[in-house]
Amino acid sequence: MQIYTTLESIPRDTKTVLSVGNFDGVHIGHQELIKTIVRRGRQLGATSTIVTFDPHPSSLFRSGAPTRLLTPLPDKLRLLEQLHVGATVVLPFTRKLASMSPLDFVEQILVNWLHAVEIHEGSNFRFGNSAQADVYQLAEFGRAFGFGVKIHTPTRYGGEHVSSSRIRKLLSDGDMRAACAMLSIEAS
């Protein structure tokens, strides 16, 4: 797996099938989405790519205690590599990046730098300044810029949606069995 920490380091001729997100925990919902990206990348002759952020975006917006990460960046990268992701782009999460309009984020990063041919996101995905855009706006941008957008329904476990926030709550409540099941690891 190639790891890029700047957009400028990405080869200019790379086409990508990608997803953007924090991917904290690389839980079973993430894993399903990533397996689809890897498969679609092979089918389309594009690099399966994850775009993630460091530090976690909450560090910029949440005063006080930062979000407790399920997986520090090195562990997240190891898990993504085990899922056969072709490339991971780790963008520094700065105020400048956070203030980008949805259009600028799509045009400058997803189209001009990453040459996205297909983007996969969960139905709750939001992006752009103040998280003002959603997956349906992303699909509109896709029609305008020529990339496909696939919206994934949330993975469920125990009747509820799997999410990193839910896993953090389960861990704080001491429910290791459910948390480990959602992280696809053995409870000890």
CA distances from 127 to 79, 86, 97, 99, 138 (A): 24, 23, 11, 10, 9
Residue 174 has pLDDT above 80, yes or no: yes
Mean pLDDT, residues 107-124: 97
CATH architecture of 2-155: 3-Layer(aba) Sandwich (3.40)
pLDDT band at residue 60 using 50, 70 and 90 as cut-offs: low
Q: What is the amino acid identity at position 23?
A: F
Q: Is 3 helix (H, G, I), strand (E, B) or coil?
A: strand
Kindly state the percentage of the chain with pLDDT values over 70. Answer: 94
* C-beta of residue 27 within 8 angstroms of C-beta of residue 127: no
pLDDT band at residue 109 using 50, 70 and 90 as cut-offs: very high
Q: What is the amino acid identity at position 159?
A: G
How many other CB atoms are found less than 10 A from the CB of residue 135?
A: 21
Give pLDDT tens digits for 123-153.
999 999 989 999 999 999 999 999 999 999 9
Beta strands at 87-92 and 133-134: parallel, antiparallel or unpaired: unpaired
Q: pTM here?
A: 0.93
Token reading at 127 = 């992006």
Q: What is the mean pLDDT of the chain?
A: 93
Per-domain residue ranges for the chain? 2-155
The CA-based diameter of the chain, rounded to the nearest angstrom, is 50
Mean pLDDT, residues 60-83: 85
Residue 187, pLDDT score: 55
Residue 67, pLDDT score: 74
Closest CA to 120 of 85, 91, 152: 152
| Cis peptide bond prior to 57, omega within 30° of 0 | no
